[in-house]
Amino acid sequence: MNERTVFFLSDQTGVTAETLGHSLLTQFDGQQFRQVTLPFIDCDDKALEAVEKINAAARDDGMRPIVFSTLVQDEFRAICRKADSLHLDIFDAFLESLEEELQQKSTHEAGRAHGMSDIESYMKRIEATNFALANDDGGITRNYEVADVILIGVSRSGKTPTCLYLALQYGVYAANFPLTDEEFDGGTLPDFLLTQKQKLVGLTIAPTRLQQIRKERRALGQYSSAQQVRYELREAEKIFKKYGIPQIDTTEFSIEEISSRILNSTGVERRVRP
């Protein structure tokens, strides 16, 4: 059976179309899709080029592609709609209801969703990213007093990517500190963490999963041994319990989910909105 092709059309990056389309397509088990993003469709030529690609896929696949469109400008939408496809258009679906509700015509102008109209929010995300980098892995600075949240956990429990995602997506100031033998030996946390105890969130992970992740980094040796992994996780958990630190199990979650759960469970306010 041929794979069906899915197109994401946008006059911007295509992130909205991809996110929407992906949510819907995951509702269909066992289907394989070839995904193609066509961003920055901002002139007739690019719209016509998109139509050609969609029609070519229809011919090659022997079935019409599915198109998720977030195009805003009517002229390009009209062109793309003519392609041989199931055309799903988020503006068609929702804009009329919104216009009615808000009693206002929409602008139909492109380039607004991720535009730099909001320079302030750009700066906040950059600053939060710099904060995450400077306060990664317990290092360089320890500006924990300005942190929104401080993640603690053993090596490879997901601290660094989560902090960076919290910064880039939400502008949240996230630091992280690794738990190692220094903490395990005494079963205590250092004072500079304890004074910020209300900001601490512990990351946990299933031993087998952690072992798998560590083996990617270093296949042999104690670091990725079952015994070591179990020891570290057990000691980390003792510390979380001792101080009443909330825990999030990252085993089955994506970076997005871990980040969202941290905001949700701590009540930390995002500083920017997507």
Least CB distance from residue 72 to a second copy, whole Å? 7
- Cβ atoms of 163 and 175 closer than 8 Å: yes
Which listed residue (78, 86, 140, 146) binds a second copy by CB under 8 A? 86
Which one of 49-57, 173-181, 238-246, 250-258 is the stretch in contact with a second copy (CB under 8 A)? 250-258
Q: 116 to 175, contacts with a second copy by CB under 8 A? A: 116, 122-123, 125-127, 129-130, 133, 136, 158, 160-161, 164-165, 168-169
Regarding 23 and contact with a second copy (CB under 8 A), the answer is: yes
d(CA 18, CA 6): 10
Distance CA 232, CA 211 (A): 11
Distance of CA 34 to the CA centre of its chain: 21
- Between residues 44 and 269, which has the closer beta carbon with respect to a second copy? 269
Position 250: which residue type? T
CA 200 → CA 87, 118, 259, distances in Å?
47, 31, 14
Residue among 16 and 180 whose Cβ is closer to a second copy: 16
Q: Binding to a second copy (CB under 8 A): which residues in 25-44? A: 25-29, 31, 35, 39-40
DSSP label at residue 42: -
* Candidate list 176, 204, 211, 259; residue touching a second copy; CB under 8 A: 259
Q: Extract the runs of DSSP E, i.e. beta strands, from the chain.
A: 4-9, 33-38, 66-69, 86-89, 149-153, 174-178, 200-204, 247-249
DSSP state of 219: S
**Whose Cβ is closer to a second copy: residue 102's or residue 219's?**
102
Q: Per-residue x/- marks for a second copy, 187-226, CB under 8 A? A: --------------------------x--x----------
